[in-house]
A and B are shown apart, each in its own frame.
Chain A
């Protein structure tokens, strides 16, 4: 059974890029365009991994990570921040908010899948 990845991201091109790469590697991809939508989908769909942009319309990525990680009802999946924020302390801020990992944009398509695999409990089964 393929792993389910929730991509929370507002930029269509970035969604398309990640969607393409993930599907190409055999993941099932679900998408949310903003933070509230992302939280709702995380609860409903119980994804295996969440890729979270930080700059989002409405509530930002830090808030999403905080809410999800503090939700006791919800068995949390690893949350990986995928963001253009590259200043000093941005990584620390993301981790403090409840993210498991941090990938700086622009992503490297050659290494992207191997990077996210590190955050998954077990390697995907493949087809």
Chain B
């Protein structure tokens, strides 16, 4: 079936293709031929129409001319009652009225009859040499009007004996544009005594032209000899000059008697003819598309005819082919089909004809015989093969089973590998650090997105290029090689260095990496860069801040030194001279002078103590006090302090006792500072105790030394315990300044003990119940010995 259809289709397709080529070529050629012929026939057709139109226009005016001539010879019109006619020459000077005398009334009636008779005439009139004027109908307004000055009058008067036609002129009282046809009234002596005429307005002329029908949607126009359009049914020409509408064609239109031409770029055809008598042009403007439509219609008719012929020819050819070629071949095909379906090789073709089809049938028969023979051989071989195949199949089945098992294992392993790869890829891509993989020639093989982000190179830009070209700062090749050598050597310590961004700026990076090694072969390097720009910046800021702080500190120290010096210099004089006076070296003092001088001396000393204490506090706060590591006997130090305080205690009648643990021997700390604290606490105790005892105790507990100063003095109010150690606090100051002191002593003690790594406390059971000041400091390890 498929064979038959295909063959049919091919033949038909071939036929249609050939037919189409033929059809196209012949169609195009005949269309061109037709077009030429058709256009020339249309042209001649239009020319014929033009001639007719010209004749109609000519007839119109010929009739009007005849009418004018008839009027000019009418005795009524020729009546010489000149003064009796209506005259508009004096309008504005004297009142004007239409003079309805009998003659004028009759003439008017005559004129009106003519006006009615000629459909396109809108006015019939007469002027006289004295200015009289009679018309077929009343004027719209009686304005001043002298017919002798009008062009129609002058033209006729200058050409007596002829009928003249004016150029279009404007009417006086209406907006009409008129073409007058006039002739002079001549008396027996050959003198002109008036002019009679008829007017056709352009509006009426157009009304006249509208009735002219042309083929091919043509529009008509009437031009005077200057090319001015008198009337047209084609609006682009209305009230214009042909020179303005078709500037390039004026010469060809106006200069020739008749002709047809195409308007370039406008898709218009234009035919014209000159009216030999009127001197006017009659014009037909036709859109080319209507001409083409006509051409196409007739071409289409031809082609339809050809196509029908082609179809009939095709059908006849098809039938012939079916009968003589396709039929026998189909027969052959059916037989072959039958053999292939049933395997029955008994079929034979009747080889009737002696042509190619007949040969084909005979060959077919020979082939069938050969097939029969080969079939027998095949069957035998096939039996043999069968056995072999069975044996092989069994073998294959067992091998196949083994392969399947192996394949299962492999797929499993592959999946595991894929998961691991995906995991590694994500790790690589999402790493917050820039990673690049380079081969042994430093060529970039892979980068992650952070690398792109940090150095500004896209994957496309980076891959395949040398890592040194990309990010190594210019002139730092050695550094790059060194970094790579370190990585290859397996040193994973981060290396802080600089690398170059794509835009040229330097980035501080911390560089680590690892060599890729497999079986002793180097394949390349993973280099990992961390952006430490911010870290570097912070370090720099810290360094600057530290420098600024140090500078501020230095200035403070300098200020303190200067202040100390400047205050001491005047105090030197005050204390020195009061001392000299009190020693009575210059001479004796009376009692009052000595008392007052003592007051000056005490105040000066107090001031000096203040300065010293303030300096001390400032120095401690500024961290300028550095503890010495003296090695000394603690007991000796306590005794030293006690001996300096004892005169004061004795003076107040206080008992001064001490209880130092015998196990405390030599200790290692700043002796001067320790003594300063002790002296401060003891002198405070003595100062604030009026009766009883002041006692110093010390114990060592492991590596801690605890010292207590106990008195039976004024005690401390619970609410004061908090503020006791602040600078310039002396209890009850303001109310009762009976105890001398700067108020800085305890503050200094607290700071010094703190410097030594210890703590100071104050305890009291209340006012007048005495107080205990204690501090403990750590002793440096292994230092003390028994």
Contacts and interface: CB of A to CB of B under 8 A. Distances in A.
Contact of A84 (B557, B568, B574, B580): B568
Would you call the interface of chain A mostly helix, strand, loop, or mixed? loop
Contacts of B571: 105-106
Contact of B569 (A14, A104, A109, A110): A14
B583 A110 contact: yes
Interface residues of B, number: 28
A14 B575 CA distance: 11
Interface in B618-658: 619, 624-626
A87 B557 contact: yes
B579 interface: yes
Nearest to A90: B561
B568 A106 contact: yes
A106 to B, nearest CB: 4
Contact of B577 (A17, A55, A105): A17
B215 to A, nearest CB: 130
A86 interface: yes
Nearest to B626: A88
A21 B578 CA distance: 12
A85 interface: yes
B569 A105 contact: yes
Contacts of A87: 557, 560-561, 564, 615, 619
B608 A106 contact: yes
B585 interface: yes
B432 interface: no
B573 interface: yes
Given A11-B569, A106-B574, A88 B585 contact: no
Interface residues of A, number: 21
Contacts of B572: 11, 13-14, 17, 84, 105-107
Contacts of B604: 106
B576 interface: yes
A85 B571 CA distance: 13
A109 B584 CA distance: 12
A88 B575 contact: no
A58 B575 CA distance: 28
Contacts of A114: none
A20 B207 CA distance: 151
A105 B574 CA distance: 11
Contact of B568 (A17, A20, A86, A112): A86
B627 to A, nearest CB: 12
Nearest to B561: A87
Contacts of B561: 85, 87
Residue among A11, A85, A86, A107 having the largest count of chain B Cβ atoms under 10 Å: A86
Given A11-B569, A86-B564, A88-B624, A20 B585 contact: yes
B565 interface: yes
Given A20-B585, A24-B585, A106-B568, A86 B615 contact: yes
Given A88-B619, A106-B568, A109-B583, A17 B560 contact: no
A17 to B, nearest CB: 4
Given A11-B569, A17-B572, A20-B585, A84 B564 contact: yes
B569 A17 contact: no
Given A14-B572, A105-B572, A106-B608, A84 B579 contact: no
Interface in A1-50: 11, 13-14, 17, 20-21, 24
B571 to A, nearest CB: 4
A107 B625 contact: no
Contacts of A104: 568
A88 B561 CA distance: 9
A107 B565 contact: no
A112 to B, nearest CB: 8
B565 to A, nearest CB: 4
A109 B604 CA distance: 13
Contacts of A106: 568, 571-576, 604, 608
B580 A17 contact: yes
Interface in B593-630: 604, 608, 612, 615, 619, 624-626
Interface of A: 11, 13-14, 17, 20-21, 24, 55, 84-88, 104-110, 112
Given A13-B572, A14-B573, A17-B577, 4 more contacts: A20-B586, A85-B565, A87-B560, A87-B615
20 contacts: A13-B572, A17-B572, A17-B576, A20-B580, A20-B585, A21-B580, A84-B564, A84-B568, A84-B569, A86-B565, A86-B568, A86-B612, A87-B564, A87-B615, A87-B619, A104-B568, A105-B569, A106-B571, A107-B572, A109-B575
